[in-house]
A and B are shown apart, each in its own frame.
Chain A
Amino acid sequence: MAVTFRIPSYLATFAKGDSSVVLQDVPATVQDALSALWMQCPGLRDRIVDEQGEVRQHINIFVGNECIRFTGGLTTTVPDGSEILIVPAVSGG
């Protein structure tokens, strides 16, 4: 099994043009998953988290159907076979 990131279309440029990135080594937490993602696609990092490692305000990360804001943030556990979705928030002006 593996864990798969779903990448929004705007960021595909920084994921070698792909809309998904597969992690073969199953991470324990979202934090671990993101660290592995940065290794494969370094251009994604600054766009998803700030210098302090915080997920940017208007980006949501889901593990399956659950937004990590309500499940422990970056310490949220990642079950084997999960999909992690990076989703721009529905907000703006």
Chain B
Amino acid sequence: MALEHRAFLYGGTEEFLAVAVPFLRAGMEAGQAAVAVVRQPNFDALRDVLAPYAEQIDFFDSAEFYLHPVRTLKLYQELVNEKRPRRVYALAEPVWEGHQPRETLEWARYESLINEVFKDSDARALCPYDRRSLDPAILDFAQRTHPVLTDGRIDLENPRYVTPPVFGAGCDVVRRFDRRPPDAEYLAIDGEDLHRLRLFVSERAIAHGLSDQTVQNLVTAANEVAANALQHGIPPMGVWVWRDGPELVCEIGDHGYWRPHPLTGFIPPESALVRGFGLWTVRLLVDLMELRAGWDGTFVRLHVSG
């Protein structure tokens, strides 16, 4: 059996419940693991309707579950493994409000990656999209990341669906970086020893008021990207750090041209021995990692806050 990943566009709570409730109920009746990750106010409405089954369903509020695309994907993977051998019936509604465009893009990529990460599982995922309130661009993403669209009665093969590598490559192509501000601080990377780089980054991260763990996460991520540049990139190379509101941004650049496969570092690796472990962990450690490669070199931007 293969993954089933369907999007469903609804308008209003009634329509939402009309599809969501039978889906979860079918899972329970089949003795499988029903999981509902839903936004307010649908969350409360769904809980009310399914109150008799409260014990059998894992309910999560989307606002707490969808905090970081790479971590959320990992969370879902752990959930699927934990429920095995039962089949997971996941009603999965991401949060689309309050993001910067670059973050929205990563959440869209996340939806696409579901198809790859769970392709060999038998999970059933139903992703509700509120067609009344969501931006048309997000509904457009939904169409390109779900192989099947449903209205609850009829499933339609989605002709606009594209595979995760194609979708991912598209995300990377449209990426533009804002200019670095003139007050960005710079440290050249020369020699093999990254001790100074770690000091440079951690001092600025501490001064920005980040928590100890965030500082360590950023230092670990920046060190990894720099080690990668040292190994594969072309000098000159260096690191810039600047503040962007509550965020601290750290960018590592070199003059090579690095264009990894669009899925590299997005699929949770089985172990530290698998290729892509480093890049995946970097994405896990920071709020957002962006990669841009062009005529002027390869640049990796790490964003953290909190």
- Specify whether A and B are partners: no
